[in-house]
Structure 1
Amino acid sequence: MTTAAPLRIGNASGFYGDRFDALREMLTDGPLDVLTGDYLAELTLLILGRDRLKDPGLGYARTFLRQLEECLGLARDRGVKIVANAGGLNPAALADAVRALADRTGVPTAVAHVEGDDLMGRGDWAPGVLTANAYLGGAGIAACLRAGADVVVTGRVTDAALVTGPAAAHFGWRHDDPAALDALAGALVAGHVLECGTQATGGNYPFFQEVFTADPGARRPGFPLAEIHPDGTSVITKHPGTGGLVDVGTVTAQLLYETGDVRYRGPDVTARLDTVRLAQDGPDRVRISGVRGEAPPPTLKVGLNRIGGWRNEVVFVLTGLDIEDKARLVREQLEGALAGDRPADVRWELARTEHADADTEERASAYLRLVVRDPDAARVGRAVSGAAIELALGSYPGFHVTAPPGKGTPYGVFEARYVPAAEVPHTAVLPDGTRTPIAAARAPEQPAVTTSYAPLSEPPLPEPPLPEPLPPGPVRLAPLGCVAGARSGDKGGDANVGVWARTEDAWRWLAHHLTVDRFRELLPETAHLAVVRHVLPNLRALNFTVEGILGEGVAARARFDPQGKALGEWLRSRRVEIPEVLL
C-alpha cells in the first residue's frame, strides 16, 4: 500500500462488554488495514482496579483475549493490525497473555504494548485512590506499529488515540511537527466518531425509526470504519451488507457526544470542532473535511478512581389511587425509623408511571425510589432495607418493593486532575522488548512544564455569528425533537447535551430559541447548575455543558441516569412553540 491510498481503520468495541462477535465480524465482512477496540471508561478502570486488588496479575479486559482466540489467525491472514486499549491497568500482562495465545495457536504474532499512564506511585493522591491513570496520546502506538507490531495493547490512552496512532505511523506524521497538526486533528475527529462503535452507524440515534423501522432486517448495526487520507480528511462508512446507517445525522450525533467547547483537546493535537465539515459522500458514506488543528495542551488529564463509600437502594411500588399520599406516608415512616442513625446522603424520587383506570396492575403503579449513601457500610445496609421491610404490614395499602432487602454495595468516585505531560513516562515497549520513551507533543512556544493539577487556561474563541432568525409567523406547541436531534453523555460529574437542527431553517430558529435560560427552563434539574452553550454553525449544532449534574461520576450512581445518556431525549420530549413552517 502506498501512502497516497487511504488507511482503513475499523472499530470493534465501544466499551468493555460490547458485542463479542464484532471482532470476527469486522475481520470477515470487508477489507481493513487496522482494527481497533475501545474497552476503557471511567467505570471500567474502577472495575479493573478492584480486579487487581484481588489478583495483581489481572487488571486488563479478559474479554479481549477470548475474542483473539478465534481472530488472531484471521487478522494475520488478512494483514490487519490490531490496536486495543484492553490492557487497562496491566498492559504488560495482557501483552504476555497475547504472546502465549499466539504460541498456543501457532499464529506468528509480533506483540507490543504501551505503558506509563499508571501514576499510582508518582503522585500525591488523596487517601483511598484506587487508580490514577494519565490519558496518553497515540505516539506510543505509532512507535509500536513502526517497529512491526501486529498487535498493540495499551493502558489508558484517549479513545481517539487508537486512530491517531495508526494514522501517524502509516502516513509519517510526527506529533511534534506543527505542519502535521491539521492532519492529526482530522484523524482525531475520525477517531472520536469511531470510538463508540455502533453509535456512528445508527445506534442510540434520536431518529432511530429511520435506521431500524425502515429496514426490519437490519436491526443489528454494523461497526464503523474510517478511510483516512494523507491530509487527514476521512470518510466514515461501514462494510457493505451490514446493518445500520451512516449519514450526516448519525455522524453529527457521535461528533457531539461527550464533547465540550469548540476545542477538542487531545495529547496529540487539539481539533477545532468549529471547523469540521460533513458531507454525504454516497450511501453510508460521510466525508469529514476542513478540520483545523492546534497544538495540544502541555498537560495531560489524569483520571482518579476511589471507593467513595457504600450505597443501598429500596424501590417501593405504589399502586392505584392516592399515589402522593402513599408516598408521603412511607417516606415519613422510614425517615422516622432512620432518625437515630441517618445515612449521610438520603435521596427520594417519585416516578409517576401509573395510568388511570389501567388494564394491568403494573400500569396502575408508580415507583418511589430511595437511595442512601454513607462512608459506613452498616449505616446503609440492613439498617435501611430492614427498616423498610418492617413497614410491610403497617404502611400504605398494597405495600411491596421491587427487590428483597440487601446489604450496601461500594460505590466509586471519579475525579480529574491535570499533570505536566513531560512528567508522564509514556513508553512504547516494542516487539523485541526495546523500551522507547515517547516525548510529550507540544508546540515550540509552549512551556515544557506547567502548573500541576490544573487544566490549561486558554483565551476563549470569539462567539461565531448566528444565522438570520426566521421571520415571525404562526407557531404550534410541539416536542423539540420534531425538528432537532440530540445526544448526551458524561464527563466525570459533568454532562454535555449536543443539539442539532436537520435543516437550515430549523437551525435559524434553534440557534436563537435554545438559549441557556431556555435550556434551564426545559430541564429544571439544571436550573441551579452552571450551563455553558457552545455554537457550532458548520454542524448546525449547539453543545451545552452542564457542570455537576452527575455528582461524583457514574460509579457513584447518585442519579437516576448516572451517565446522563438520556438527557438529550428528555430535552427533545419537552414541548416548545415551534414555527409551523418547520412542522
Structure 2
Amino acid sequence: MAATATSTAGAGVTTAVRIGNCSGFYGDRISAMREMLTGGDLDFLTGDYLAELTMLILGRDRMKNPERGYAKTFLRQLEECLGLAQDRNVRIVANAGGLNPAGLAAGIRELADRLGLDVSVAHVEGDDLLARAGELGLGSPLTANAYLGAWGIVDCLNAGADVVVTGRVTDASVIVGPAAAHFGWSTTDYDRLAGAVLAGHVIECGTQATGGNYAFFTEVPDLTYPGFPLAEIHADGSSVITKHPGTGGQVSVGTVTAQLLYEITGARYANPDVTARVDSITLADDGPDRVRITGAVGEPPPPTLKVSLNEIGGFRNSVTFVLTGLDIEAKAELLQRQLDNVLAVRPAEMHWTLARTDHPDADTEETASALLHCTVRDADPAKVGRAFTGAGIELALASYPGFHVTAPPGEGQVYGVYTAGYVDAAEVPHLAVHPDGTRTDIAPATQTQPLAPAAEPELSEPLPTGRTRRVPLGQIAGGRSGDKGGSANIGLWVRTDAQWRWLAHTLTVERLRELLPETAELGVTRALLPNLRAVNFVIDDILGRGVAYNARFDPQAKGLAEWLRGRHLDIPEELL
C-alpha cells in the first residue's frame, strides 16, 4: 500500500494530500467505504464511528462479551474493501476501535489472512481510563475514555501501517494524523495543525458537508444520494473541501459553513494537539463543489484532556396519551390526576409534557389531536415497568373521552447518563502499537494554554433603518445544532455583510431566550464569528444528563436550530 512520508513541513512533500471520509457515526451508510475507494483518487480514507452515545452502546456490548466493544460494521466494510484499498494504494484510519482497539486490530489481521492479503495493521490505545477512574476522581462509570490527539496515529503511519484503528480520539484526529504524517509536521506547527483540525471537523461527519442536514437543502441540486466528502490538505494547513465527481449532494460555502458551526463551543475549538481559532479562517469558492479554507490560526492546546464518562442511570419508560378535539387542557389535567391517584408506587422521576399538535376545526383526526407524554425513571425496573404502563391502560374506560395511547404497555428500558470529566494530559497514556507489536509512548504536549473564551469583536457598524417585515429568521439565516453532553450548540450564519451586522446586533442572548423559552432559565453563551458571518450559542444543560437520558423531545438537539429559524422577527426589508 502507500509509502510512508517522512519529509518535514515545507521542505519535502508539497502536493496536497487527499483524505476522504466514509463514516460520520456508527450506523452510517455501509456502502460508503466502497463508494469512496472507487469514486476517485485518495491517499487516505478515514471514518468516525464514535459519539458520546456510541461509547455507552459499546460499553454495554463489552459487558456482554469482553472481546467486543468495537464497531463491528467496520469489519464488514473491510471484508469487501480491504483488497480494494490495497489495490488503490489507500491507507485507512478510523476510530472504530471504540473500547477495544487491540481487539479490532486483531480482527482485521484475521480478516486479511482469510482474504489472503498482506496488510500491516496498527492501533492506538491508552484512552481507556476505566481501571483508574476512582484514582483520577472520575467516580465509578461504565466507560471512561479520554479524547486523545493525532500523534499516535502519526507514529503508526510512520511505522508503515496500512490500517490504523484507534479508541477515543477526537473526531478530527483521524484526519489530522494522516496530514501530519504526510507532511512531517511537528507538534508545534500550530497553524498547520489548526487548518487540518478544521478540515477534519468539516469532513468527519460525512454527508453533513455535502448537503445533508443543510438548512437551505432545497438549493442542493441532487440530495437523493449525497456523496461523502474529502479534504485536499496542503503543506501550510490550508485545504479544499470537495467530493468525488458525479456524486450527489453539493459542496458549497454554505454547506462547509454549516458543518464548521456543528457542535463547537465558540471561537476557540480545543483539541489535544492544538486549539484552532474558528474565527480566523476564510472560506472561498474554488470551482464546482470545491471550497477553500485558508488563514487558520492555531494556539497551544489546553493542559487537560476531556474524558467521556458514561454510566447506567437506571430504568426509563414512557406512555403517550392521545387527546383529540375539544378541552385538551382539561383532558390532560384529568389524566394526570387519575394516574397520580392509581399508581401504587410512584417512580423517582415522573415528567409530563403536553405537545399541542392539535388544530381547531381539523379535517383529519390526527391533526385534531394533541399528545400527552409521561416519562418516568427509577433505579428499580419494577417501578417503571408494567406497574406504570398497566396503571395508565387501566384508565382506558374511566378517563377522558376518546382515550387511546400510541403503543401497548411495555417494560422499562435501561438508560445511560453522560458526563464530561477532565484530567491532566500527563496522566493519560497515549500508546502507538506498531504492526510488529512495538509499543511507542506518545508524549503529551509540552506547550499548553488554558482554554478561555475569545474576545467578542466590536460592532460599530450602524444597523439598517427603514421598513421591516415580520418573517421567519430562516428566510435569511441558515443554522445547525447538535449535542455537547448535556449542553447543545446552535450556529447561525447569513450570506451578506449587511445581514451579518443585523444578526450580530439583534440576536443577543436575551433575544435567544425570548425566541426559545425553553432556554430562559439556562446558561447561554454567545460567540461571534465575523469571517463566517456567523453567531454561535452554547446552551447549558438543555439535554439534561446527556443524549441517553432522553430529557427532551429532541434529545440530541438536532432540530434546535430549525426551531430557531422558524421563529418570526421583524427583519429590515432591504435584507430580505
The TM-score by the shorter chain falls in which range? Answer: over 0.9
Deviations 1:352-396 (A, max 9, x none): 112333333222222111111112211111121011001011111
Deviation at 1:18, TM superposition (A): 0.3
Query: Is residue 149 from structure 1 mapped to residue 142 from structure 2 by the alignment?
Result: no
Asked whether 1:371 is paired with 2:412, we answer no
Distance, in Å, in 2 between the alignment partners of 1:366 and 1:549 is: 23
SS of 2:131's partner is: coil
Contact 1:467 1:511 in 2 (8 A): no
* In structure 2, distance between residues paired with 1:345 and 1:328: 18
Q: 1:440 aligns with which of 437, 440, 444?
A: 444
Mark the CA change 1:268 to 1:279 in structure 2 (over 3 Å): closer, same or farther: same
**Aligned counterpart for 2:192 among listed residues 159, 183, 194:** 183
> Cα gap change, 1:543/1:230 in structure 2, threshold over 3 Å: closer, same or farther?
same
Cα displacement (A) at 1:297? 1.0
1:266-306 deviation digits (Å, cap 9, x = unpaired)? 01111011101111111111100000000111111111100
Alpha-carbon deviation of 1:229?
A: 0.1
TM-score, normalization by structure 2: 0.96
Matched, 1:60 2:70: yes
- What SS does structure 2 have at the residue aligned with 1:143? helix
Note if 1:120 corresponds to 2:120.
Answer: no
User: What's the offset of the Cα at 1:126?
Assistant: 5.7
Do the aligned partners of residues 11 and 459 (structure 1) sit closer, same or farther apart at CA in structure 2, a change above 3 Å counting? closer
TM-score, normalised to structure 1's length? Answer: 0.95
From 384, 397, 400, the counterpart of 1:396: 400
CA–CA separation in structure 1 for the residues paired with 2:453 and 2:523: 17
2:32 to 22, 27, 33: 22
Superposition pairs for residues 35-184 of structure 1, below 5 Å?
A: 35-124=45-134, 128-175=140-187, 177=188, 180-184=189-193
- Which string of whole-angstrom CA distances, capped at 9 and with x for unpartnered residues, describes residues 221-265 of structure 1? 100000000000000000010000111111010000000121101
Aligned to 1:222: 227
Contact kept? 2:266, 2:453, Cα under 8 Å = no
| Alpha-carbon contact 2:194-2:297 (below 8 Å) kept | yes
Q: Give the C-alpha shift of residue 468 in structure 1.
A: 1.2
Alpha-carbon deviation of 1:127? 5.5
Output the CA distance in 2 between the equivalents of 1:162 and 1:457: 24
> Does 1:501 find its partner at 2:501?
no
- In structure 1, C-alpha distance between the alignment counterparts of 2:329 and 2:81, rounded to whole Å: 56
- Counterpart residue identity of residue 190, structure 2: L
1:247 maps to 252
CA distance, structure 1, for counterparts of residue 162 and residue 285 of structure 2:
33
Deviation at residue 318 of structure 1 after TM alignment: 1.3
Query: Contact (CA 8 Å) 1:118, 1:133: kept in 2 or not?
Result: yes
Structure 2 alignment gaps of length 5 or more = 6-11
Q: Is the 8 A contact 2:138 2:421 kept in 1?
A: no
Please, which moves more after superposition, 88-97 or 260-269? 260-269
Distance 2:429 2:139 in 1: 23
Once the two structures are superposed, residues 146-182 of structure 1 have per-residue CA deviations (whole angstroms, 9 ceiling, x without a partner) of 111110000000000001111111000122x3xx110
CA contact (8 A) 2:93 2:163 kept: yes
CA distance in 2, matches of 1:234, 1:563: 30
For residues 492-531 of structure 1, what are the structure 2 equivalents within 5 Å?
492-531=485-524
How far does residue 501 in structure 1 lie from its aligned partner after superposition?
A: 1.1
Deviations 1:59-92 (CA, angstroms, capped at 9, x unpaired):
0000000011110011000000010100000000
Q: How does 1:467-546 map to 2 (within 5 A)?
A: 468-546=461-539
Letter in 2 for 1:202: G
Alpha-carbon distance in 1 for matches of 2:13, 2:364: 64
Aligned to 1:302: 307
Query: Are the aligned partners of 1:194 and 1:225 in contact in 2 as well (CA < 8 Å)?
Result: yes
Matched position secondary structure for 1:129 = coil
**Identity across matched positions, percent:** 68
Give the distance between the partners of 2:535 and 2:453, measured in 1 at CA: 17
Q: Secondary structure at the match of 1:341?
A: coil
- Quick one: distance in 2 between partners of 1:548 and 1:457? 23
Residues 459 and 107 of structure 1, relative CA distance in 2, 3 Å threshold:
closer
The 3-state SS of whatever aligns with 1:141 is helix
After TM superposition, the structure 1 = structure 2 runs for residues 563-582 of structure 1, keeping only pairs within 5 Å, are 563-582=556-575
SS in 1 for 2:232: strand
Q: Please tell me whether residue 411 in structure 1 is matched to residue 411 in structure 2.
A: no
In structure 1, what is the Cα distance between the partners aligned to 2:291 and 2:158? 29
Name the counterpart of 1:450: none
Q: What SS does the corresponding residue of 1:385 show, helix, strand or coil?
A: helix
Deviation at 1:207, TM superposition (A): 0.5
Separation in 2 of the partners of 1:158 and 1:554?
18
Counterpart CA distance in 1 for 2:138 and 2:84 is 46
Matched AA of 1:199:
Q
Question: Contact between 2:133 and 2:140, CA under 8 Å: does it hold in 1?
Answer: no
Residues 522, 542 of structure 2: 8 Å contact kept: yes
Q: Is the 8 A contact 1:467 1:508 kept in 2?
A: no
Q: Secondary structure at the match of 1:121?
A: helix
Task: Supply the distance in 1 between the matched residues of 2:351 and 2:538 (Cα, whole angstroms).
Answer: 24
Q: Secondary structure at the match of 1:318?
A: strand
Aligned to 2:340: 335
Give the whole-Å Cα distance in 2 for the aligned partners of 1:91 and 1:70: 20
| Secondary structure in 1 matching 2:397 | coil
C-alpha distance in structure 2 between counterparts of 1:522 and 1:581, whole Å: 23
2:132 match: secondary structure: coil
Cα distance per residue 1:439-479 (max 9 Å; x no partner): 01231xx4xxxxxxxxx744543221225133311111100
Separation in structure 1 between the aligned mates of residue 460 and residue 169 of structure 2, nearest angstrom: 38
Q: How far is the alpha carbon of 1:514 from its aligned partner?
A: 0.4
Task: Please tell me the residue identity of whatever aligns with 1:580.
Answer: E
Decide whether the 8 Å contact of 1:296 with 1:442 is kept in 2.
no
CA distance in 2, matches of 1:372, 1:354: 24
SS, match of residue 422 in structure 1: helix
Q: Which residue identity is paired with 1:137?
A: G
Where 1:69 maps in the other structure, the secondary structure is helix
Tell me what 1:350 maps to. Answer: 354
> What is the alpha-carbon root mean square deviation over aligned residues?
1.3
Aligned to 1:209: 218
CA distance in 1, matches of 2:235, 2:453: 30
- AA of the residue aligned to 2:28: D
CA distance in 1, matches of 2:139, 2:196: 38
Task: Provide the residue aligned with 1:453 in structure 2.
Answer: none
For residue 422 of structure 1, report the CA deviation from its aligned partner: 1.2
Distance in 2 (CA, whole Å) between partners of 1:402 and 1:292 is 52
